[in-house]
Amino acid sequence: MKIHILGCYAATPRTFTNPTSQVLELKNQHFLIDCGEGTQVQLRKQKIKFSRINHIFISHLHGDHFYGLIGLISTFTLLNRENDLHVYGPVGIKEIILLQLKISNSYTGYNLYFHELSSTESEIIFEDEKVQVKTIPLKHRVYTNGYLFKEKNVKRKLNLEVIERYKIDTCYYQKIQFGGDVTLEDGRTIPNAELSFEPDYEKSYAFCSDTVYNEDILPIIKDVDVLYHESTFLETEAHLAEKTMHTTAKQAAQIAKNANVKNLIMGHYSTRYGNIDLFKEEAGTIFENIHLADDGKSFEF
């Protein structure tokens, strides 16, 4: 699992800081999460192939999280993209993108699918044989979701009790793990569902930005390997965090601790602070495994 931080600063793009966008590499797939202005240039700078991106997840419709989307969608057309592109985000995203394509008379040369979200309950929005993605309902000034990505183990778990009861030889174990049925010597066929359980999940990644401190998300993100949680402010500006519905560094660490996550990546820093190490110092009093996001930085777990 790799996380490429394209941008991790709040509000406006500046000379040396970019608004939110990141690429999650999971099971050889690239998932783009949020797409602030300038995302396509950040993708080029980090040498991430545009063609690898087939799924884009937008947390909410504040500009610093999606103003780069229309440009990326247009650039895909100029690059002669053929693969389908799926965009997940709040209701409204489809109208915004399609209006701009319509008025500029430049529809995409590939299939563009919108999956608009409006539920305030966590829901599965993407699933294939390798990865599952669920929403994490967040609390912000507009409708917002975080996203929970889970790697699936491709191998099903053996139900050893049943397997032994049928006296099935170990040479069939791999077949069962990959979903196969087994025919016994007496001619009976035992369906795979009887011989195995659903596969375990492997690595998991939770992206939570933007949000106030919200313990409602704890059951959803419990025990994840990596939590990216916004920490726009330090505790000295806790009043601003409350007013603007953002989180302080200390609060982000508290969420990480209460959810028993293995690693916390902090980001979405306000540009008022000259030194992002201050976020780690403050959060470090609550939680140990802290990583500071920064534009251009990649993490591997």
Residue labelled with tokens 């050889």: 28
CB of 119 to a second copy, least distance (A): 18
Q: How many angstroms separate the CA atoms of 173 and 106, rounded?
A: 53
64 is catalytic: yes
Residue 246 assigned to a binding site: no
Residue 225 assigned to a binding site: no
What's the CA angle centered on 198, arms 193 and 204, to 5 degrees?
170
When the beta carbons of 103 and 171 are compared against a second copy, the nearer one is 103
Residue 64 assigned to a binding site: yes
Pick the catalytic residue from 34, 64, 169, 186.
64
Residue ranges in contact with a second copy by CB under 8 A: 11-15, 37-38, 40-41, 44-45, 61-63, 67-68, 70-71, 74-75, 78, 92, 95-96, 99-100, 103-106, 141-142
When the beta carbons of 68 and 137 are compared against a second copy, the nearer one is 68
When the beta carbons of 76 and 172 are compared against a second copy, the nearer one is 76
**Cα separations (Å) of 163 from 62, 150, 154, 197, 199?**
54, 28, 20, 12, 16
CB of 36 to a second copy, least distance (A): 9
Chain centroid, CA 101 distance in Å: 27
Known catalytic residues are 64
Would you list which residues are annotated within the binding site? Answer: 60, 62, 64-65, 140, 210, 268
Would you list which residues are annotated within the binding site for Zn(2+)? Answer: 60, 62, 64-65, 140, 210, 268
